[in-house]
Chain A
Amino acid sequence: MTLNDSLSKNRESIINRWFDLIVDSYPQNTADFIKSEKNRFANPVGWIIKKGIEDIFEGIIQNKSDAQFFPILEDIIKIRAVQEFAPSEAISFIFLLKQALCEKVVIENNELFAIESKIDTLAGISLDIFMKCREKIEQLKANEDRVLKKSNS
């Protein structure tokens, strides 16, 4: 079985495990809530993480280009960028996929490198998006300060 086959076959269990690993980085009662509430509007963070990692996983199976991953990664990173995470913490959710894969599928040595470097690339893209989000936040702050100055002048 190729890696792609076993990823497809174990899709659900890998994604669920990956989701749990990400959510467990929140305090426990928050994590319990994020895992249990399924309504998109009652639990935006949980829904966006779940949808985001499903799309990332699909993208990996379909061998999408780096550029195609940008919009897929964006929604999760936007959340991480306002949740006070340091850059390394903000993108750590990508690496947790390695953990989930190790637990759920057997990866042959010859395929290990490919999947690992894919995940590392995604981490790099995530970091770029994170920095853009932070810039955007600074810009939003500066815009407001400008309006305030205008009204005080």
Chain B
Amino acid sequence: MYKVLLCLRYLQTRWLAMVCIVSVMLGVATLIVVNSVMNGFSTKLRDRLHGLLSDIVIEAYDYDGFLDPKAKMAKIMADPYLAKNIEAMAPTLEIFAMLQYAYHDVPFTRSIRLIGIDPQSRAKVGGFTEFLTQPERKITPSFELTPEAKARQAKNHVLDRKPAYFQELPSDPSAPPPPDPPPSKPHEPQGLIIGHAIAHFRDRTQGSDGQVKDIRALEPGDDVIITTVSGQKMSPVVDRFAVADYFRSEMSEYDSMYVFVPLDHLQKLRTMEDRVTSILVRLKDFDEAPKVIKRLKEILKNEPVEVQTWEQKQGALLAAIRVEKGILNILLFMIIGVAGFGILAIFTMIVAEKTKDIGILKALGASRFGVMQIFLGYGLLLGLVGCLLGTAMGLAITHNINEIESIIGSITGQELFPRDIYYFDKIPTDVHPMGVFFVNIGAVLIAVLFSLIPAFRAASLNPVRALRYE
């Protein structure tokens, strides 16, 4: 009983103990905040990736794709188990391509991923319509230009403002004037949906408030030229498109790469009949994925296709996040280790200071183990109090992390969380109760472990030495 009493009294009267508590507290708080942000980051990233990637992807081994996706889908739906579990499927044709446009008569060229889709079926698979920017298109996805876009398209061509690099060489003045071109039938370009980051520049110089602004380089209705390769022969093919809408998923990797065009248009352009490179599959319940994959593989075993879940497709990125989190945790536990050394130092001091008390306790019949328990209990108590405060602090910081970030950002003038480097416009957080629990257990263990040595020393003190002098 005296052990508990003394622990509490030592806690109340030693302000040095506060230092231990604070160091444990800071360690625990840091671990909780960092883990929550990392979890938030990976959860959000997974959600985003999953949202963009459909549950399962049936993918051809090469760019040439495979023939007749309709027949394949029919074959898949003929299976009762699959028919029961598959919510929707969408054939897509993906190919690398080059996109060119002119902004203020300056040519820009981007490398992109050109994706041919059927908007209706693609919408059913998910991860598409919700990222379109025009509200009406979110309801009925299409590649149609809006009337305003059409007007702009017409205006661009009435003025015939060809980009400078399309202008013909200055003609020989001595040559006879070229004949008037025949009045061409106004060519309506195909609409496309372009990744937000392709169509916008980010401007950092503007605005003293540190806000970054997006400058739109391509308005709806503006022309873009896309160059890609035809089917088997791989010869270049070119077409002119007009921007119909933007795709903005906040995943910069996607927003800066993806350009969507109608599937049939792309098939025609690439002269590849009814070929597609992949079929996206959405399940009713993602937990069924392993079984569905197994079944799909059986059905498609003679086809040159690979069947993967979105997780398998993004395996490298997800694994990288996991590894990063593991390493961070090890490093951060070292912070608590440092707190542990603080406890060691301070406890050693307290034991030295309490030599007399230890002698008295022993004279009064306290056992070695009893004396040891006082200091172990003390360590436990410091650890517990530190953990409690640290958890409270960590959760509070996690909860208000965006506000804190903006305050620190405005004080230092340095953006802590550059929105365009990361995939998110807010710092995502996700508190895992189990994680918090383990952090606490770990911290308490470290506190007790580091108080073991001083406690042992206290227990082996010779009482006479302590009692002889004042």
Is chain B found bound to chain A in the same assembly? Answer: no
Measured CB to CB, the residues of A under 8 A from B are none
